[in-house]
């Protein structure tokens, strides 16, 4: 029997099940709606099949605790999630996927200074990442100084209270960045400024650290910041209807992302570095979790630091904020290499990483728990890679491979907590694998030159009729088919962004999908989308490029970014056609560039050709201009910078550059 619902009756039914809509005119008063009976049922079905009896990760998280944060400043992040205090994994809220709830409680359980083994310590729970501390002959090496200066300063101060002084001091004898994501270097300036950093101490980083850092945060930095607002739920509160976890950790600290440039880059594939008498066997493993990343074996402590190649969950092959797609195949090879060289050969008693708790072998059994752990992690990424490409070679398209691979997940992975999709997911990671090999196009000719988003939606709306589409969407919603409802409501909103009823309907369907999502980025994106649909507001973006990052970015990359900012229409209208140079006397660097055919390009050169205009300026002053701390005119007037040639050409170029505010639409905002 066909179901027939009018918009009025279905709207009333939904309002009755939800209660009256909240006041969405202010973000301060924003509150999500309750879970529907369909979401309650869906989450209950998930809970039935989870391995609740496996408490090993909670035991690992509590092992080795030296001191809990309690009321110390280092526990500020943990305190933001007080609503988790006393909660248990099995008693999950109806508005949270039970697997994600359990992951949130696991991350909440970490909060203090821990001993990995005698000589290796970790601060966990102060930020998204872990700070690892190694004891050397005369002090301590800091590995991955968290995301912000505030968190790093508090974490180190807490560690000093509980770690023994060496020669009456807590001297820092070196610092290591495992890779070039901000939560692994962002607190560096606080460590340098702590008063404990030794004068001769070095800062170590993997090969191409600064290049890859700038590449990821400058060229697409504005767009990445806006997209990160969805991945991390920019407007969501820490609550059972908002943020419950950030997969790698509870959340992020509050403070400034800083960067003190490394003094030593490990350029070789592998190298043994001795820091104050302690050997670190460093191995570059780029292209998997990060374009530049180093893992470390510390023989004295029989410890292996896997950086971010392992953690208690599945990682991203593609990250929603936007970054280069990662190579899941090379990831499996790196994990196999570590397993064979250091684990199966019996050289380590523990592995520890930039996130989650360490893994130890139990001396009372013959089982190699570390080997089992890293094997499951390896096989998880291998499964995604191999099965995604197997399906692709059978003709499964990039748009369908995610749902198809979900049907194939082996029971061994389903029965293991630390391979679950909290950060990445089988679904979107499989699509990333296919994209890496075959690209975004499914080759269906209708997608060769697709209609623009709004035009495509309006084609469906005009063909179906507004009332028919809305009724169908509401019927799907009533039956708990929220993805189908979203598909229809999205067409209505794209075609008519001012209709509040359509916006709320789409928000409602997003919200229930968020409540059912195991992957934190899915949950946050659905819920953030609901916030923007209901409030009609876009808040300022997350800033990806801090002043320290900008200061350490090569000039050539800033010129590349200027080329991205060049508005082709303006350049063509003003007939911009010239060549230029930027020279840094303080560094002995010179860059040659050309502006032609509504495009701009540059390269670093040893010798400059004759140019139309040359800017001679120290790199430090060039950085100040970019940071808007000083005007070029001031530097020219004071003689700190010079322009040789036709200065008007530079003015015309600047006039043709776009400014990015990071407030662009992801979902259409009301126009009135």
Instruction: Please tell me the predicted confidence (pLDDT) of residue 8.
Output: 39
Instruction: Please tell me the predicted confidence (pLDDT) of residue 13.
Output: 41
Instruction: Please tell me the predicted confidence (pLDDT) of residue 544.
Output: 67
pLDDT-wise least confident of 6-20, 78-92, 359-373: 6-20
Instruction: Please tell me the predicted confidence (pLDDT) of residue 436.
Output: 97
Average pLDDT across the chain, whole number: 94
User: What is this structure's pTM?
Assistant: 0.94
Comparing 23 with 406, the larger pLDDT belongs to 406
For the segment 121-128, the average pLDDT, to the nearest whole number, is 98
pLDDT exceeds 80 at position 400: yes
pLDDT exceeds 50 at position 450: yes
Instruction: Please tell me the predicted confidence (pLDDT) of residue 626.
Output: 86
Residue 22 in 3-state DSSP? coil
Handedness of CA 96, 508, 236, 238 (dihedral sign): negative
Q: Which of 616, 545, 546 is nearest to 585 (CA)?
A: 616
pLDDT-wise least confident of 201-205, 270-274, 355-359, 622-626: 622-626
Parse the chain into domains and list their residue ranges: 52-370, 552-655
**What does DSSP assign to residue 342?**
I
SS3 labels along 507-521: HHHHHHHHHHCCCHH
pLDDT exceeds 70 at position 629: yes
**Cα–Cα distance measured from residue 112 to residue 354, given in angstroms and rounded to the nearest whole number:** 15
Instruction: Please tell me the predicted confidence (pLDDT) of residue 627.
Output: 85
In this structure, the dihedral spanned by the alpha carbons of residues 582, 584, 585 and 590, taken in order and rounded to 10 degrees, is: -60
Instruction: Please tell me the predicted confidence (pLDDT) of residue 504.
Output: 96
pLDDT exceeds 50 at position 388: yes
Comparing 255 with 541, the larger pLDDT belongs to 255
pLDDT exceeds 60 at position 7: no
**Cα–Cα distance measured from residue 422 to residue 415, given in angstroms and rounded to the nearest whole number:** 15
Find out whether 7 and 488 touch, Cβ atoms under 8 Å.
no
In the chain, the N- to C-terminal Cα span, in Å, equals 42
pLDDT exceeds 50 at position 242: yes
CATH number of the 552-655 domain: 3.30.1050.10
Find out whether 113 and 126 touch, Cβ atoms under 8 Å.
no
pLDDT digits (tens, 9 = 90+) for 127-156: 999 999 999 999 999 999 999 999 999 999
CATH number of the 52-370 domain: 3.60.15.30
CA separation, residue 68 to residues 112, 159, 161, 527 (Å): 4, 11, 12, 32
Which residues make beta-bridge pairs with 420? none
Instruction: Please tell me the predicted confidence (pLDDT) of residue 22.
Output: 62
pLDDT exceeds 80 at position 19: no
pLDDT digits (tens, 9 = 90+) for 323-332: 889 999 999 9
Residue 304 in 3-state DSSP? strand
pLDDT digits (tens, 9 = 90+) for 452-482: 999 999 999 999 999 999 999 999 999 999 9
pLDDT exceeds 60 at position 622: yes
For the segment 82-93, the average pLDDT, to the nearest whole number, is 97
Find out whether 471 and 5 touch, Cβ atoms under 8 Å.
yes
Alpha helices in 500-631 (DSSP H): 500-516, 520-535, 547-551, 555-565, 568-573, 619-626
Instruction: Please tell me the predicted confidence (pLDDT) of residue 15.
Output: 41
Residue 479 in 3-state DSSP? coil
For the segment 581-599, the average pLDDT, to the nearest whole number, is 96
- pLDDT band, residue 550 (cuts 50/70/90): confident
- Percent of the chain exceeding pLDDT 90 equals 89
Neighbour count for residue 520 (Cβ, 10 Å): 27
Sheet (strand 197-206) strand order: 65-68, 112-117, 120-124, 131-135, 140-143, 172-176, 197-206, 264-266
pLDDT digits (tens, 9 = 90+) for 638-663: 999 999 999 999 999 999 999 999 99
């Amino acid at each position: 029997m066909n179901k027939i619902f009018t918009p009025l009756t279905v709207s009333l039914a939904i309002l009755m099940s939800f209660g009256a809509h909240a006041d969405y005119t202010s973000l301060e008063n924003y509150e999500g709606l309750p879970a529907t009976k369909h979401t309650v049922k869906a989450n209950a079905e998930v809970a039935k099949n989870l391995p609740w009896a496996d408490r090993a990760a909670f035991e690992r998280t509590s092992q080795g605790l030296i001191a809990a944060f309690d009321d110390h400043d280092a526990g500020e992040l943990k305190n933001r999630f007080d609503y988790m205090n006393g909660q248990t994994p099995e008693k999950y809220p109806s508005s949270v996927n039970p697997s994600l709830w359990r992951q949130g409680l696991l991350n909440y359980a970490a909060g203090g200074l821990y001993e990995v083994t005698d000589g290796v310590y970790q601060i966990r729970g102060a930020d998204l990442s872990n700070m690892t501390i190694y004891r050397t002959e005369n002090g301590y090496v800091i590995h991955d100084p968290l995301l912000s200066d505030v968190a790093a300063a508090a974490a180190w101060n807490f560690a000093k209270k509980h770690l023994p002084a060496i020669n009456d001091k807590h001297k820092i004898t070196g610092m290591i960045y495992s890779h070039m994501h901000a939560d692994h270097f962002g607190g560096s300036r606080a460590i340098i400024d702590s008063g404990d950093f030794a004068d001769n101490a070095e800062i170590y980083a993997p090969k191409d650290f600064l290049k890859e850092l700038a590449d990821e945060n400058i060229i697409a930095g504005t767009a990445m910041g806006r997209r990160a607002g969805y991945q991390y739920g920019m407007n969501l509160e820490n609550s059972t209807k908002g943020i419950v976890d950030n997969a790698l950790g509870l959340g992020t600290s509050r403070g400034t992302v800083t960067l003190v440039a490394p003094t030593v880059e490990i350029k070789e594939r592998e190298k043994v570095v001795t820091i104050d008498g302690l050997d670190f066997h460093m191995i570059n493993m780029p292209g998997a979790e990060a374009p530049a990343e180093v893992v470390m074996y510390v023989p004295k402590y029989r410890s292996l630091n896997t950086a971010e190649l392992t953690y208690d969950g599945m990682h991203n092959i593609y990250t929603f904020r936007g970054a280069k797609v990662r190579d899941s195949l090379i990831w499996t090879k790196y994990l196999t290499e570590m397993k064979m060289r250091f684990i199966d050969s019996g050289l380590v008693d523990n592995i520890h990483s930039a996130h989650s708790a360490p893994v130890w072998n139990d001396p009372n059994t013959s089982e190699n728990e570390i080997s089992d752990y890293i094997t499951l992690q390896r096989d998880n990424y291998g499964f995604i890679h191999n099965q995604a490409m197997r399906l692709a070679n059978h003709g499964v398209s990039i748009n369908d491979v995610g749902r198809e691979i979900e049907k194939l997940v082996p029971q061994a992975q389903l029965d293991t907590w630390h391979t679950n999709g909290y950060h990445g997911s089988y679904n979107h990671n499989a699509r990333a694998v296919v994209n890496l090999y075959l690209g975004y196009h499914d080759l269906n000719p209708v997608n060769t030159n697709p209609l623009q988003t709004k035009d495509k939606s309006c084609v469906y709306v005009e063909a179906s009729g507004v009332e028919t589409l809305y009724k169908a969407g509401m019927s799907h919603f009533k039956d708990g088919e929220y993805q189908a409802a979203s598909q229809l409501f999205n067409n209505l909103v794209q075609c008519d962004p001012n209709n509040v009823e359509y916006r709320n309907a789409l928000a409602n369907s997003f919200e229930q999908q968020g409540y059912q999502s195991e992957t934190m980025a899915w949950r946050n994106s659905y819920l953030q989308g609901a916030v923007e649909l209901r409030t009609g507001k876009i808040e300022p973006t997350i800033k990806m490029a801090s002043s320290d990052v900008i200061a350490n970015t090569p000039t050539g990359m800033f010129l590349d970014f200027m080329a991205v900012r060049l508005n082709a229409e303006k350049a063509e209208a003003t007939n911009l056609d010239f060549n230029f140079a930027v020279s840094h006397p303080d560094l002995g660097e010179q860059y040659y560039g050309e502006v032609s055919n509504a495009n701009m390009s540059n390269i670093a050169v040893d010798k400059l050709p004759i140019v139309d205009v040359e800017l001679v300026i120290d790199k430090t002053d060039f950085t100040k201009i970019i940071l808007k701390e000083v005007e070029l005119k001031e530097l020219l007037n004071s003689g700190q910078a010079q322009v040789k040639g036709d200065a008007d050409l530079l003015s015309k170029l600047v006039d043709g550059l776009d400014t990015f505010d990071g407030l662009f639409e992801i979902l259409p905002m009301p126009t009135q």
